Structure 1
Amino acid sequence: MNSDTEILLAGLAFPESPRWRENRLWFTDQHARRVLTVTLDGQMECQLETEDLPGGLGWLPDGTLLLVAMTERKVYRLTEQGLILHADLSSLAPFHCNDMVVAANGRAYVGNFGYDLHGGESPVATCLVLVEPDGHCSITASGLIFPNGSVITSDGSTLIVAETFASRLTTFTIGEDGSLHTPRLWADLNNLPVSAFDEGSSPASSRSFRKKGPRCLSSGIPRSDRILFIVSAKSFQLTV
């Protein structure tokens, strides 16, 4: 595997939630409150500016964009009239929401901080919230430490979530009703968060990923035609 990298885009405020769709990388420049796209030749376009901090991205089966509003703890959908409320998670998520992955059937899984990270509180376990295509919400998994970055395998049977401050990836089986069950360890990252994504989904992290190896990769994620999304916490650059 060629390990050479190059800077794709620089000058970003806080890039998060990468999603590869229709030959472009979609992501949120969180603290600039923008949703951006960039092609592999570096052509960037601002798709949306937001009032709240933008979190996870995903798409309904009809192609409608879903977007997490982090501090509001809500999910919006983008229409011709602008952002319209899709789901209110404020009664389920104890603190700011963050990343989201959307299944092919339109079910979304949304993570949250669980505690006041910037206020200096100690980490506590929290939940993943399942958002049905009609906007109905329920807690579908608990006991997670800062779940922020999820991927659904190509067969739709498994969800893998990054537990940032537990330095691990945890996997769940997805039931026919969309519920998550049978949690198990997928990878122990030893403080090396990783992002490797397919079309429309990614386990995301805003820390550098430099190490490649079988301990960070497992079955269920195709290894061919994979793009690594790397964000330096010091310089905030996209690297491929």
Structure 2
Amino acid sequence: MRMYEVRTLLDGHGLVESPRWHGDRLYFSDWTAGEVVALDPAAGRAEVVARVASLPLCTDWHPDGRLLIVSSRDGLLLRRESDGSLVTYADLGRPGWNDIVVDGRGNTYVNRADFDPMTGEAAKPGSVSLVTPDGSVRQVADDIAFPNGMAVTPDGSTLIVADSYRHSLVAFGIGADGGLSGRRVWADLGEGTPDGICVDAHNAVWYADVPGRRCVRVAEGGAVLDRVDLDRGGFACVLGGHDRRTLFIVAATWRGMTESEMVTPGSGRVLAVRVEVPGAGRP
């Protein structure tokens, strides 16, 4: 395995998640603070672009250039307007939503986990719902023990979902209407516990691993191609930068789902690693 230099771009945050590259900035969420933050890696400047009291608090970019934000507590999908205001894009019907990814046609996939926060155990398997561009919502996949990160392949044909509790990546074909079919295990990760994921130009997936304190690159089928070791839990990753060859990782020191503060206060960091294969697909 190649040895990577891991650079710290930003420190002192809480539970950091949902990194997304857009324009020339990295956007990520600080779940502890209820903030969506934009970071200019070149200048080292960061600013809060939205505040939403939600945990989880995940985001992605619509093809029209507007940011979509999952307000899990309220069961809403919000859209950030050009003036910074937030409006309702879709009513998801109930609370408890987690990650989000938008494909190139404007189809938005949002997943939810059904678990007991006091024990951290799943009450029943989670699901994935589709929000179409007209704002309608329907469930398109179920029986995912704990759905976490999601990504769409470069050709737009496949949605890959991280199932943290089953230690696997699950793939679905995306239909003309945005529906999902042809479910299969894309990769069995053994002891790997995937959280946020992204896809590269060779159709490999990088997944962040909280208990494993690492980010791992795998091929379809599960062969390990690369690994970045961390000194704290890796929550999510995305390939960005001017050439999409910078792997941005958000990481923090994990305490546990049943703790009053799930990560050590101030341990949340934004990290950067230069890799050989550029990003592709979405996010």
TM-score of the aligned structures, taking structure 2 as reference length = 0.73
Q: Which has the higher strand share?
A: 2
CA-based RMSD of the aligned residues comes to 2.8
Task: Map 1:1-240 onto structure 2 (within 5 A).
Answer: 1=2, 3-41=4-42, 42-53=44-55, 55-79=57-81, 80=83, 82-91=85-94, 96-116=96-116, 118-120=117-119, 122-123=121-122, 124-189=124-189, 190-193=191-194, 195-197=196-198, 205=208, 207=210, 208-212=213-217, 214=219, 215-216=223-224, 225=245, 227-234=247-254, 235-240=267-272
**Which residue identity is paired with 1:58?**
D
CA contact (8 A) 1:100 1:110 kept: yes
SS at match of 2:268: coil
Shift of 1:132: 0.8
- Structure 1: unaligned runs, 5 residues or longer: none
CA distance in 1, matches of 2:154, 2:54: 31
Aligned residues: 231
**Which residue identity is paired with 2:185?**
L
| Cα gap change, 1:158 to 1:35, in 2 (>3 Å) | same
CA distance in 2, matches of 1:204, 1:17: 12
TM-score of the aligned structures, taking structure 1 as reference length = 0.85
Shift of 1:81: 6.8
Q: Which moved more, 1:41-50 or 1:5-14?
A: 41-50
Percent of pairs with identical residues? 31
Structure 1 stretches of at least 4 aligned residues deviating more than 4 Å after TM superposition: 202-206, 210-214
**Which residue identity is paired with 2:247?**
I
Shift of 1:97: 0.5
CA distance in 2, matches of 1:99, 1:77: 15
**Which residue identity is paired with 1:59?**
W
CA distance in 2, matches of 1:143, 1:31: 29
* 1:5-51 deviations in Å (ceiling 9; x for gaps): 11121111111111111122111111200001123343212111123
CA distance in 1, matches of 2:68, 2:270: 23
**Which residue identity is paired with 1:77?**
R
CA distance in 2, matches of 1:198, 1:44: 26
CA distance in 1, matches of 2:253, 2:209: 6
| Cα gap change, 1:81 to 1:26, in 2 (>3 Å) | closer
**Which residue identity is paired with 2:93?**
S
